[in-house]
Amino acid sequence: MSEHETSPATVIEDRSLDRAEIETLAGSKPIMLRRCDLDEADLAGLTLSMWAFDTCSLKRTRLVGAKLDETRWTGCRGAFADFTGANLTEATIDASDFNNGSFRGATLTGATFKRCKLTGANLRETKSLNATFEETLLGSAQMPGFSFRKARLRKLDFELADLTKCDFRDAVFEDCILRDASLVDCRFEGADLRGADLGGIRLLNAKEFKGATISRAQAGQLLEELGLKVR
């Protein structure tokens, strides 16, 4: 691990920062912001590569088109933050709340989301090769066409999410929720769905699961959706 990842050159704590102050800091070595208030700041287009954000507030912050590759976000709160078109390559987002945030068109290649809240987030048209999610709330998120191929999905809540045309081929679900998610034209060939809650899925939609493995209990649940009793 490089020096800037373990001990950033400059630590800024307990401050409210606007665009002008961030621009000034952006010209130096990677910065760690700790407990800083960036609410509603316009940081669009800035280069903040390798910065660290620790317990910061970013409610409605604009980061449109910002360069955020290799950044670290820990314990941040950023409802409605706008990351549209941002570069989050190899970023690490841990225990952070970006509910209803927009990541539309963002580059998430190699990014890691763990223990996050992304409820209602817009993840349309993202570049997401090797992006990983673990223990994350994605309820009502918009992520059509997202690829989870060959992924091990652990404790992900997709309830009511738009997963249209997502690729789940050969994925393994562990303690996940797909309840009432939109699964139109998804691909599940080779997927192991035995660790997923399929509540709300009707047998009429079961063709989406062609080639997947489900448990007998799940098969019975699908039949019960048709009003059939399984004995």
Does residue 117 carry a pLDDT above 50?
A: yes
Does residue 108 carry a pLDDT above 70?
A: yes
pLDDT of residue 118: 98
Q: What is the mean predicted confidence (pLDDT) over 139-157?
A: 97
Burial 119-157 (b: 16+ CB within 10 A, else e): bbbbbbbbebeebbbbebbbbbbbbbbbbbeebebbbbb
pLDDT of residue 219: 82
Query: Would you state the structure tokens that stand for residue 109, as one six-digit string?
Result: 């290649």
| Residue 49, amino acid | S
User: In order of start, what are the domains of the chain with their CATH numbers?
Assistant: 1-122 (2.160.20.80), 144-231 (2.160.20.80)
Tens of pLDDT, residue by residue over 175-193, are: 999 999 999 999 999 999 9
Tens of pLDDT, residue by residue over 50-98, are: 999 999 999 999 999 999 999 999 999 999 999 999 999 999 999 999 9
Q: What is the mean predicted confidence (pLDDT) over 213-218?
A: 88
